[in-house]
Amino acid sequence: KQEVTQIPAALSVPEGENLVLNCSFTDSAIYNLQWFRQDPGKGLTSLLLIQSSQREQTSGRLNASLDKSSGRSTLYIAASQPGDSATYLCAVEGGSYIPTFGRGTSLIVHP
């Protein structure tokens, strides 16, 4: 059974710092990995999707990498802003359209 772990569980940083959020998974036979943002009491917003054949994806200040062989993905946030404060979740899909989510990293960026 796929297990997804996100470290750290919580992070508090001053504005302007570059951040790395980690996601690890136990079964490397995945179709894709997706990073989401969730604001309190809201649904999930997709940030980046990395297909299993890809190594990384970039969108604005966000960069996500994928190393299937080691079962790891990182989400890099450049020049963090208070508006980036949210919970960040990763999800891996291993086939049969069944995603497995991590519990997320709760990020606070203070001015």
Partner 1 sequence: DAMVIQNPRYQVTQFGKPVTLSCSQTLNHNVMYWYQQKSSQAPKLLFHYYDKDFNNEADTPDNFQSRRPNTSFCFLDIRSPGLGDAAMYLCATSKGSYEQYFGPGTRLTVT
Judged on CB neighbours under 10 Å (0-12, 13-18, 19+), 31 is middle
d(CA 65, CA 46): 15
- Tell the residue number behind the tokens 């001015």, with chain if given: 111
Residue 24, number of CB atoms within 10 A of its CB: 18
Residue closer to partner 1, measured from CB, 41 or 83: 41
Binding string, 12-31, against partner 1, x = CB under 8 A?
A: -------------------x
Q: Which of residues 32-91 bind partner 1 (CB under 8 A)?
A: 32, 34, 36, 41-46, 49, 89, 91
Strand partners, 77: 19, 62
- Shortest approach of partner 1 to residue 111 CB, angstroms? 25
- Shortest approach of partner 1 to residue 16 CB, angstroms? 27
- Shortest approach of partner 1 to residue 30 CB, angstroms? 10
d(CA 20, CA 65): 11
Instruction: Give me the residues that bind partner 1 (CB under 8 A), please.
Output: 4, 31-32, 34, 36, 41-46, 49, 89, 91, 93, 96-99, 101-104
